[in-house]
Amino acid sequence: MADPSSYRPEPGQVPDSPGVYKFRDEHRRVIYVGKAKSLRQRLASYFQDLAGLHPRTATMVTTAASVEWTVVSTEVEALQLEYSWIKEFDPRFNVKYRDDKSYPSLAVTMNEDYPRVQVMRGPKKKGVRYFGPYGHAWAIRETVDLMLRVFPVRTCSAGVFKRSAQIGRPCLLGYIGKCSAPCVGRVTPEEHRELAEDFCDFMAGRTGTYLTRLEQQMHEAAEEMEYEKAARLRDDIGALRRAMEKNAVVLADATDADLFAVAEDELEAAVQIFHVRGGRVRGQRGWVTDKVEAVDTAGLVEHALQQLYGEEKGEAVPKEVLVPALPEDTPALSQWLAERRGSQVSLRIPQRGDKKALMETVHRNAQQSLALHKTKRAADLTTRSRALEEIAEALDLDGAPLRIECFDISHLQGDDVVASMVVFEDGLARKGEYRRFQIKSFEGQDDVRSMHEVVSRRFRRYLQEKLKTGEWSPDDAVAAAGVVGGEVDRDTPEDDGRPRRFAYPPQLVVVDGGQPQVAAAKRALEELGIDDVAVCGLAKRLEEVWLPGEDDPVVLPRSSEGLYLLQRVRDEAHRFAIQYQRNKRGKRLKAGPLDEVPGLGESRRLALIKHFGSVKKLRQATIDQICEVPGIGRKTAETVVVALAQAVPAGPAVNTATGEIIEDETPASAGAASDRGTEQ
């Protein structure tokens, strides 16, 4: 625990101007980011008597070891920089909201040649129009089904679209009138895009003009005695009205607004947002957060606004934002929102009428969300605490293993040998900390040797991080690294405060296997001089827990929460390793002869295949013919010819039903590299 006076800035050193400040801990990790109108006044408030600080603030300043600041011109710049740094450094003492569920949205892929309507979850993509989020995916599908009658936009996947174009026949939706069938040329790309834009306009709330136009067309058709057309338009209007009825009118003046409500207690807070477009509730979402910093309702609102609109632009930011409390820097926040929208944004508290009544509804939803979250968390926290205590007792540990790392080896008959490392903290998976490894020191199948290599590499990286921060002496580092033939990076780049990959040691290492694997992991730790990390193995056959140097396993009761947690950790490591191994095997099997040509990248491989149609035809081409492909010089063409001549063509494919030999006219996987991921 640090004394704040040890790193307090000198009087007059801190400027009296707007800016953003960062607190760092002893390892140079950024633990808190804040902004202020006056840096001098705000930072001075942290260095008063600890008894006068909020307990969370006191914990933060005693955890920190230094403070630094950046001066900006305006409060809006401070707001933008604060958001960027919180996103970049992920400080542990800043409020961070997490979704209480993954909400689906209705998406229209306007970035494609033929826009597609579909349900999407997860982060937003550039060039895609989103509507929602909605509480349930089935609600989106019901709405889309009604609207496809009027706006027959494509909803099929890329594979179905391509197949229909190849065979010249649309899918079922094209036959029943719920798709305009651009795949077979019934409409031009421009006409289909107009349909998609009309669909988006209607979903955005611009319904009145469109319905009026349809009604006018219906009356004109009836007057001209085109009764079938009039009947179709009448049914279209009815379908659109039914779709509109699914979102009840809550604000009579066709308002576009987002309403925020907060429910909180001393430890946690829940935020609920209703998205109102055209006076109708078009979506709802919620967040829950731990109050890791001393923050009031206005501060929670400010953090929520930053998280919701930090990546948004244009109409995604509404004209009105209604909140339960105004943040401290309301003018700066309003200006920031206006810059993101491109026009004025009203940020205010509703005082009366329909908007205040709707805000009360949103607040009730926030209260229910917080109550449900606390009920779930209480039960889950109790179970996880009991599991960690049982593991500590069974393995005779000094304390509960708050961080557990598990390693597993995966291969297919000795090929594509890989390993995985998964991390559980406080009994919960930390997927951002997962790592995967390729076995580099030998070829073939040897799980014990592989386990030794992987554990050595993981903890050698940990010792390198300690060396960079000065927690470990260089002589010890070189000695330990030399035992396993590794190298220590003596260059110590300036630490930028971002979370490091292998900086945190676990209290317990779990390996998938029995005595041999446990012994290999323990030997790897001993060779590196690490004696404060416990090791155990979980064997699949009888779910026995093996400890280093013990002839008999530890047998936990089948009903033990500790055993269940170890099984979850082991199974997750197994899943992650198999996934990586299958990906590697798939890429290897897809690899074509062009993948081995030196200096031939993915773009030029694709250009060659597109020009000649297949590897077979490319193999028959001359050097001059290959040089005709844009971007291919004579030297590269010669290299391609030599590589294809040396490559042994695969055996002919045979139709097992007829015995007929199938000619190799299909393009090889020249683009297999497009699926390559980053590997360690």
Please give the single-letter amino acid code of residue 253: D
DSSP 37: S
pLDDT at 249: 52
Count the residues in the chain. 680
Query: Where residue 97 falls among pLDDT bands split at 50, 70, 90?
Result: low
Q: Which two tokens stand for residue 611?
A: 């020009």
Residue 628, pLDDT above cutoff 90: no
Residue 565: closest CA among 404, 398, 373? 404
Query: Where residue 489 falls among pLDDT bands split at 50, 70, 90?
Result: very low
Residue 382 burial by Cβ neighbours in a 10 Å radius (0-12, 13-18, 19+): exposed
pLDDT at 679: 40
Q: Which two tokens stand for residue 115?
A: 């826009």
Query: Where residue 18 falls among pLDDT bands split at 50, 70, 90?
Result: confident
Main-chain phi, psi angles of 554, to 5 degrees: -90, 125
Decide if 276 contacts 255 (C-beta within 8 A). yes
Residue 128: closest CA among 138, 136, 137, 120? 120
Residue 251, pLDDT above cutoff 60: yes
pLDDT at 224: 84
Mean pLDDT of 67-92: 84
Task: Spell out the residues 6+ positions from residue 372 whose beta carbon is closer than 8 angstroms to its own.
Answer: 100
CA distance 308 to 25: 29
Q: What is the pLDDT of residues 528-577, one digit of tens each?
A: 888 889 999 988 767 788 898 888 888 888 778 888 888 889 889 988 98
Range in 49-63, 475-489, 565-579 with the lowest mean pLDDT: 475-489
Query: Where residue 154 falls among pLDDT bands split at 50, 70, 90?
Result: very high
Residue 657, pLDDT above cutoff 50: no
3-class secondary-structure state, position 97: coil
Query: Where residue 443 falls among pLDDT bands split at 50, 70, 90?
Result: confident
Range in 131-145, 511-525, 571-585 with the lowest mean pLDDT: 131-145
Decide if 521 contacts 535 (C-beta within 8 A). yes
pLDDT at 253: 65
Residue 667, pLDDT above cutoff 50: no
CA distance 572 to 407: 10
Residue 37: closest CA among 24, 13, 53, 20? 20
Residue 22, pLDDT above cutoff 50: yes
Q: Which residues pair with 117 in a beta bridge?
A: 108
Q: What is the pLDDT of residues 181-224, one digit of tens each?
A: 999 989 999 999 988 988 888 777 666 677 777 788 888 888 88
Main-chain phi, psi angles of 355, to 5 degrees: -70, -40
Give the number of other Cβ atoms within 10 Å of residue 491's Cβ: 6
pLDDT at 676: 33
pLDDT at 659: 46
CA distance 118 to 486: 50
Mean pLDDT of the chain: 79
Q: Which two tokens stand for residue 425?
A: 């903290």
CA distance 513 to 169: 54
Q: Which two tokens stand for residue 146?
A: 């009604």
Q: What is the pLDDT of residues 293-321, one digit of tens each?
A: 778 888 888 888 888 888 787 878 888 89
CA distance 315 to 298: 25
Decide if 427 contacts 388 (C-beta within 8 A). yes
Residue whose pair of structure tokens reads 């997490």 in the numeric block: 98
Mean pLDDT of 385-401: 88
Q: What is the pLDDT of residues 271-285, one digit of tens each?
A: 888 888 777 777 778
CA neighbours closer than 13 Å in the CB half-sphere of residue 446? 13
How many helices (H) and strands (E) the chain has is answered by: 20, 21
CA distance 403 to 424: 6
CA distance 305 to 342: 17
DSSP letters for 283-300: EEEEEEEE--S---HHHH
Compare 596 and 451 and report the one with higher pLDDT. 451
Residue 375 burial by Cβ neighbours in a 10 Å radius (0-12, 13-18, 19+): exposed
Handedness of CA 156, 158, 162, 165 (dihedral sign): positive
Give the number of other Cβ atoms within 10 Å of residue 429's Cβ: 15
Q: What is the pLDDT of residues 599-623, one digit of tens each?
A: 777 778 788 888 887 777 888 888 8
Mean pLDDT of 414-429: 84
DSSP letters for 429-465: E-GGG-EEEE--S--S--HHHHHHHHHHHHHHHHHHH
In degrees, to the nearest 5, what angle opens at C-alpha 545 toward C-alphas 544 and 549?
Answer: 120
Compare 249 and 615 and report the one with higher pLDDT. 615
